[in-house]
Amino acid sequence: MVFSKGKTVADYVTENIKTAHVFKKYGIDFCCGGNVSVEEACAQKRIDVNLIEKELSEVDAVKDLIEDYDKWELDFLMIYIENVHHTYVRENLPLLSEYANKVAKVHGNRHPEVVEINKLFHEVANELSSHLLKEEQVLFPFIKQLFEAKKQGLIAKTPSFSTVNNPIRMMEYEHENAGNIFKEIARLTNNYLPPEGACNTHKALYSKLEEFEQDLHKHIHLENNILHPKAIELERSLNAS
C-alpha cells in the first residue's frame, strides 16, 4: 500500500481493512475518530509518522515464503513453529479479544451472531493458550531429546507418558477441535464477510479472524503432517536400534 500525505485514517481502513490493525496497535482511533489525517493522528499520539508509514506499506506483504519444510531438521522446525506461529497466536489473541468483545457489546442486538462469535472465539483462545504451553513444556522438549539422542548415538529415555504418540494424539485432538470452532466462526461470519453497514471495528474483527484461521491452518499442517509423523518415526527407529 502506498502512503499518501493528507490521507485520513478512515481512508486507509476503508481502502484496506488490514490497516486497522496497524492503527489499533498504536492506539489511533480508526472508527469514530478516523476522519483525521495520519500525520495529525500521529502528532496527537506523539508517534513517528515514518514508523506508521513503514507498517502501512507492509500490510499486504507476504510473510510466509514458500519453504520446503519437509527437509528441515526437527529441532529447527520446532524453533520455527514457536517463533512464528506460537508468537503470532500470543500477539493476536488480546487484539482479537478486544475486537470481539466490543463488537458483541455494541452490535449484539442487531447482529446476534456476533455474540456467539465472541463466545466461540474466547473458547478457542483459552484452549490455544493451554495448548501452546503443553507443546512447549512437554511435547517439544521430548522430541528434542529424541533428536539429540539420534544425533549422538544414545538411547532415548522413556518419558512419563510412555511414548511420543500419547501427547501427539492429544495435540491432534485439540487441533481438530480448534479447527472445528473456526469452521463454525466462518459459517457465522458468512466466510468473514461483514454485514451491510458494518463499522470499521466490525470489519477489522472479521478480517483478523480470517487471518488468524489461515495462520492456524499453516500451524496445524506443520505439526500434524510433518513434525508429528517424523517424531513418531524417530522414536520408533531409536527403539529398534
DSSP string, 39-84: HHHHHHHT--HHHHHHHHHTTT---S----GGGS-HHHHHHHIIII
Assess whether pLDDT exceeds 50 at residue 66: no
102 within domain boundaries: yes
1 within domain boundaries: no
pLDDT, average across residues 191-215: 95
Claim to verify: residue 36 and residue 125 sit in the same structural domain: no
Claim to verify: residue 75 and residue 50 sit in the same structural domain: no
So what's the pLDDT on residue 30? 85
For 134-146, the pLDDT digits (tens) are 999 999 999 999 9
62 within domain boundaries: no
How many domains are there within the chain? 2
27: alpha, beta or left? (left if phi > 0; alpha if psi -120 to 50): left
126 within domain boundaries: yes
Range of the domain at 130: 69-240
Claim to verify: residue 171 and residue 128 sit in the same structural domain: yes
Claim to verify: residue 22 and residue 127 sit in the same structural domain: no
C-alpha 22/C-alpha 26 separation (Å) is: 7
18 within domain boundaries: yes
Claim to verify: residue 112 and residue 79 sit in the same structural domain: yes
So what's the pLDDT on residue 1? 66
Claim to verify: residue 77 and residue 188 sit in the same structural domain: yes
Claim to verify: residue 116 and residue 186 sit in the same structural domain: yes
Claim to verify: residue 49 and residue 115 sit in the same structural domain: no
Claim to verify: residue 39 and residue 126 sit in the same structural domain: no
> Which of 5-14, 45-54, 110-119 comes out lowest in average pLDDT?
5-14
Q: In this predicted model, which residue has the larger pLDDT, 10 or 233?
A: 233
64 within domain boundaries: no
Intra-chain end-to-end CA distance of the chain, in Å: 56
63 within domain boundaries: no
3 within domain boundaries: no
Claim to verify: residue 104 and residue 187 sit in the same structural domain: yes
Claim to verify: residue 104 and residue 206 sit in the same structural domain: yes
Q: In this predicted model, which residue has the larger pLDDT, 73 or 61?
A: 73
> Which of 10-14, 125-129, 231-235 comes out lowest in average pLDDT?
10-14
**Mean pLDDT score of the chain:** 91
pLDDT band at 59 (very low <50, low <70, confident <90, very high): confident
pLDDT, average across residues 207-222: 93
Assess whether pLDDT exceeds 80 at residue 3: no
So what's the pLDDT on residue 32? 66
Claim to verify: residue 188 and residue 223 sit in the same structural domain: yes
So what's the pLDDT on residue 61? 67
Assess whether pLDDT exceeds 60 at residue 65: no
pLDDT band at 126 (very low <50, low <70, confident <90, very high): very high
